[in-house]
Amino acid sequence: MQATYGRGHGAAKRTGKGQKKETNRRQLVQLLACLAVFLAVFIGKGVWPSQVARTGEQLLAVIRANTDFRAAFAQLGQALSEHESVIGELGQFCVAVFAPEEDVRQDDHAVQVMGGDEPEATVVKPETDENTVPQQPALQVGDVIQEVELEQALPEGYSAQWLWLGDMQTAVPVHGAVTSNFGYRDHPTIGRYAPHGGVDIAADKGAQVLAFADGVVDSVGEDRDFGKYLYLTHPNGVTTFYAHCSTVCVKKGEQVQVGQRVAQVGSTGKSTGPHLHFEVRLDGVRLDPLHYIEPARQA
């Protein structure tokens, strides 16, 4: 059978040539567009030589891609006719050529969208609480601030632990050298080893004895052992005791303020010399006063 090509054969040849021309024209447009973008990047954005290699790879990828440059150029022309920022619109054009879809970069804590006149604000995700140090609960009156270990346990009603007395302003009752500490000692007047419920602070006779904190005079008295003495009650179940005084300057029921003179140093009762015997108690338990009147130790 003899084949007849007729007009259809000639049309097929023309169509093939037209497609080839269209392909060549599209590749030329791609090349020119990439060159324009290349120049825009270097001139408008100031790309440094270290970035040339990366930019070349991007341009090569564009040349090989089937990007709709006509649409991109048309969109750029329309945008330039409506906006004042040329560099910003060139940036949008570059986005359309190099990354038609929105370029989104993510990390563990932030998300930032690239492109446009100015970079979008970075949205920072809140940090986790894994490394957050939990807040310590507030101290309560009687809580232990510091543990103290003793070679010999104290009897009931005595504690060497440093306890929280509450938020109160305090004062050193008298400045002087501490001659006898809290706890067991060789008692200088009774001649045996016995617990000492406070501290002895040496001072000149007649020196002022000051109130440890705001409070009320609970009692005033005198006996053979402690001589002239007084008790003050303070907030939070705290009481203080002042003994061997030469004079007591306040009366029972009187309100006193921290640092107010309440007595004078003496040597009354069983005493080896002028000094103040001072005690701090919490709910009746004797505590080491040096936890609360540290400056007296350094006097």
Structural domains present in the chain: 7-124 (no CATH), 144-298 (2.70.70.10)
Cβ within 8 Å of residue 100, ≥6 positions away: 67
pTM summary value? 0.55
Crossing angle for the helix pair 52-64 and 6-45, to the nearest 10 degrees:
160
Q: Are 223 and 241 in contact (CB under 8 A)?
A: no
- E strand map for the chain: 104-106, 110-113, 123-124, 144-146, 158-159, 162-163, 178-180, 183-186, 193-196, 199-202, 208-210, 215-223, 227-233, 238-248, 255-256, 261-265, 275-282, 285-287
pLDDT tens for each residue of the chain, 299 residues long: 443 334 444 444 444 555 656 666 666 666 666 666 656 555 544 544 445 445 555 555 555 555 565 565 566 556 555 554 545 555 565 555 555 544 444 444 433 434 445 555 544 555 555 566 667 788 999 999 999 998 889 999 999 999 999 999 999 999 999 999 999 877 666 666 789 999 999 999 999 999 999 999 999 999 999 999 999 999 999 999 999 999 999 999 999 999 999 999 999 999 999 999 999 999 999 999 999 997 554 44
Q: The tokens of 265 are what?
A: 């140093």
Cβ within 8 Å of residue 124, ≥6 positions away: 109, 110
